[in-house]
Amino acid sequence: MIEDAALWEGFAAESEEHLDTIERLLSGPVEGEGVNTLFRAFHSLKGMASVLGAAGMRDVAHGCEDLLGLARAGKLAVAGGVADGLMAAVDGLRALRARVIETHRDAPAEAALLRRIAALAEGDAAPPPTLPSPPVEPLTALAMTADPLLGAFASRCAAAAAGLAALSAGREEAALAEAADLAAAARMMRLPGLAAALDQLVEAAASPAALPSLGRLRRCLALLAARAGEAAGADSIPRAARGAVDTAGLAATAERLADPPGGHAALAAAARDAAASACALGQDALERALLALEDLADRAADPDAAALLGARGPALAEAIRHAGGGGGAPLAGAGGDSRVPAGFLPLLSETARQRAAAALDSGARLYVARLAMGQGDALEAAIADALRPEAEILGSRTLPGASPPLLELLLASAAELDALSRAATAADPSRRVLLSLSVAEEEASHAPATAGGATMRVRQELIDGIIALEAEVRAASLALAEALRESAPRTAIARLSVLAGKLEGAAGRELTELSDHLRGFEDTLEEAESRLSFSLRRLDEAVMELRVVPVGTLFARLPRVARAVAEPAGKEVEVVLEGQEVAIDRSLVETLADPLLHLIRNAVDHGIETPAERRAAGKPPRALLRISAARRTGGIRVRVSDDGRGIHHDRVLARAVERGLISAEEAPGLSPAQIEALLFRPGFSTASTVTETSGRGVGLDVVQDAARRAGGTLEVASTPGRGTSFTLRLPLTAATQAVLLLEVGGHPYAIPTARVEAVLEGEGDGRPVLRLAPLLSLPETPLGAVVVVRAAAGPLALGVDRVQRRADILLRPLHPALARMPGVGGVGVLGNGEPVLLLEPDGLGGEG
């Protein structure tokens, strides 16, 4: 399977979210948009599992997707046996997911479960009975509570964690009983992976297998904490665990990775257990190195992996020694020469070290060239030949865990960097192989931190805590600002001064003195609030630096996805990534992961032509897919563009009519923007046949929904025959959003300011007005203002009671019951603590 830490991290979080969504929906009646949401969730699970090579999860999700496709076509109802079958599939997927995440290996699906799902799809195809629609309640109440039972269970695990960790050294009866009780509770709460880990620890207590079992339990507890939002004891285990990892033996075996004693299967098993032991002891770097060793040993039969065994063995051995604190000091024999990058020191021969020292003493410089492997021996040789006249190659190393495999060359040269770069570019103009060339001193990541260095390692949960506290302080500041803006206190003080002036004698003087004190107190509060606002703006900037990551962490997985879709279709595509250094909020990374996956698959499957079609159109056979990010004023722009066939409006209209999304009479009157808006309707697809990636009517609606939830917009631009681009415009952070506050039926609502085009008094300028009160099931009220907003199908005029003001709101998790309702884009908290619903113009206009 793919060994990509960012990809696995994203899969763990996103798959859990999709399974939670499915389970919540299946807990009640499912119809209409709920069926579409279920379908998209299973479709996303299938796509993520396919990319990772988890065939078992893919097969179960694919079967459920087929079943829900029948429901969308009106051929069965998601109720009774169908709902029970889907819930059984959720249980099966949770178990498979836990095994896949723990082992990074495929886990086959149960044949009985697959047969059950297939039997449901082949059953009665009669249309479902008409179910009464549930009453529409006003959107004024909000339930935002996490699962208290899951949180209580996590807290119980946290209290027991230290005792469970002691089982690595002995069989304490109380700890064994507690582990058995927790396993039974985990099974009851549908946490089969955690239950299995606890059972294994009980069986292995005080034996050599206890430490690996404890490490697997720690991984499960970390997943439980992420799901419950409560600490589950994963951090307590390393402090109480007992044991050690034989890093010296594993490193010695890794050096013989091409032909290890006992074979590759035995090495993979040993590395797997050792990685789990390292997890139990809290040795994160060692765990990563051992997982990389396990992955490579496990794939030794793969020709592509076999070619790397001999080259990567020494680097992995060195990583294991250093991470485990074992032998093989990196500076041995190097005379402590800090001018040579530390990552190369253990790999250079004594002669190469002497040549490096001589080159440096003569005034030359050391350079590091990073090359992508697997692009062809001829091109790699051409680059080496181009560099040799200008530089001496001292040594090389492969980067453990890199995907695709990367090779670094250490060069010594008297030439300047520009001269070396020109020589290499002449041999590799497209930079397919030579990814970077830099001065060795700039490769600071390989060197130990110096005294007074500028970096410090901080645990992620501490950073998350700081971010959460900053949000609470900001909420308190907003509440203070709201209170100071109230006119009633000022009016009362002024009235008090008037009354004081009417009274004579001591009473009048005392009231005057009191009113002056109150006015001075109010001035002091306003000054303090002003200083607090200024300091919070600076704190916002500092906290933003803590929560941002390069967008390249998200982009890195996309070329692989594009190739996985293109190859079965016989298409050729070159993926170009731009702006990978742009920093975005970590929450936006999570929000964008699934939408970008859909955009890439959509572009390759629908937009890009086959090589023969491209040649006939006068285009190069290899298509260009460009993924770019850029920082813009107040936000981030992410764009996916291709040079394919473009969007043909006639085909879109024909398919929309065919699928019943619009009538044949409506089609001629649609504008180009309205036609392109049809692409984002649930159930729309221009594919003529159903394949692994298209024809099921899912994809672009997912992207649009994600953009809305993040407070952004999605734009499409296309020229037939020349290509299409989808542009996501997103705020800098997903934690706050600038909104325009409205009042409808006596209740506050909000609309993103980025979507507001105009605010008109009275009944507006004569255009058709959509009254919000009846749409939100609120009492009819007099029309006080019209807000013109930008929707996917064009401008939309919304009638409201009145417009209040602009404000920044803190976004909070949206309850699933509200998330399924059209027109609801999110929920936020005002400065006074009052919740407010964020309205989505596209859903209000009936497009969504």
Q: Are 729 and 637 in contact (CB under 8 A)?
A: yes
Residues sharing a CB contact under 8 Å with residue 753, sequence separation 6 or more, in sequence order: 738, 739, 740, 806
In a domain, residue 664? The reply is yes
Q: How far apart are CA 418 and CA 329, in angstroms?
A: 35
In a domain, residue 335? The reply is no
Q: pLDDT digit string (tens) for 5-23?
A: 656 776 787 788 788 888 8
Domain termination residue (choose one: 240, 261, 294):
240
Residue 12, domain CATH: 1.20.120.160
Whether 569 and 528 share a structural domain:
no
pLDDT at 467 (0 to 100): 67
Nearest to 395 by CA among 351, 344, 446, 360: 344
Whether 742 and 705 share a structural domain:
no
Whether 211 and 312 share a structural domain:
no
Average pLDDT over residues 462-481: 71
pLDDT, the chain, mean: 76
**Alpha helices of 460-550 — where are they, by DSSP H?**
460-485, 487-502, 505-547
Q: Is the pLDDT of residue 136 over 50?
A: no
Domain termination residue (choose one: 670, 699, 731):
731
In a domain, residue 560? The reply is no
Whether 507 and 605 share a structural domain:
no
Q: pLDDT digit string (tens) for 248-276?
A: 888 887 777 777 887 878 888 888 888 88
Q: How far apart are CA 845 and CA 825, in angstroms?
A: 13
Cis peptide before 341 (omega within 30 of 0): no
Domain termination residue (choose one: 409, 441, 473):
441
Q: Is the pLDDT of residue 195 over 70?
A: yes
Identify which has the larger pLDDT, 58 or 546: 58
Residue 675, domain CATH: 3.30.565.10
What is the share, in percent, of the chain residues with pLDDT greater than 70?
A: 77
In a domain, residue 308? The reply is yes
> 285: which 2 tokens?
């770097």
Q: pLDDT digit string (tens) for 719-753?
A: 888 888 898 888 766 566 778 888 888 888 888 88
Whether 721 and 788 share a structural domain:
no
Structurally, the chain folds into a number of domains equal to: 7
pLDDT confidence band for 134 (50 / 70 / 90): very low
CB atoms within 10 A of CB 68: 27
**Per mean pLDDT, which of 178-187, 447-456, 760-769 is the most reliable?**
178-187
Residue 781, domain CATH: 2.30.30.40
Q: Is the pLDDT of residue 66 over 50?
A: yes
pLDDT at 304 (0 to 100): 47
Q: Are 525 and 484 in contact (CB under 8 A)?
A: yes
In a domain, residue 452? The reply is no
**Per mean pLDDT, which of 40-54, 299-313, 638-652 is the most reliable?**
638-652
Q: pLDDT digit string (tens) for 138-174?
A: 322 223 334 677 778 888 898 889 889 989 888 888 8
**Per mean pLDDT, which of 203-217, 294-308, 434-448, 586-600 is the most reliable?**
203-217
In a domain, residue 554? The reply is no
Amino acid identity for residue 810 in this structure: L
Q: How far apart are CA 379 and CA 433, in angstroms?
A: 7
Q: pLDDT digit string (tens) for 429-462?
A: 666 677 778 887 544 333 333 333 344 556 656 7
CB atoms within 10 A of CB 554: 22
Average pLDDT over residues 525-545: 71
Average pLDDT over residues 121-133: 45
Whether 215 and 170 share a structural domain:
yes
Residue 374, domain CATH: 3.30.70.260
Whether 570 and 677 share a structural domain:
yes
Q: How far apart are CA 239 and CA 403, in angstroms?
A: 33
pLDDT at 213 (0 to 100): 92
Q: How far apart are CA 739 and CA 778, in angstroms?
A: 21
> 187: which 2 tokens?
């099974």
Whether 722 and 585 share a structural domain:
yes
Q: How far apart are CA 62 and CA 74, in angstroms?
A: 19
Q: How far apart are CA 277 and CA 165, in angstroms?
A: 12
Whether 624 and 530 share a structural domain:
no
Q: Which domain holds residue 109?
A: 5-121
Nearest to 176 by CA among 187, 185, 163, 191: 163
In a domain, residue 447? The reply is no
Q: Is the pLDDT of residue 135 over 60?
A: no
Whether 16 and 111 share a structural domain:
yes
Distances (CA, A) of 554 to 30, 460, 559, 594, 638: 33, 18, 11, 10, 11
Q: Are 260 and 145 in contact (CB under 8 A)?
A: no
Q: How far apart are CA 318 and CA 343, in angstroms?
A: 9
Whether 586 and 695 share a structural domain:
yes
In a domain, residue 128? The reply is no
Q: Is the pLDDT of residue 321 over 60?
A: yes
Q: How far apart are CA 79 and CA 128, in angstroms?
A: 9
Whether 473 and 615 share a structural domain:
no
Q: How far apart are CA 702 and CA 38, in angstroms?
A: 12
Identify which has the larger pLDDT, 342 or 271: 271
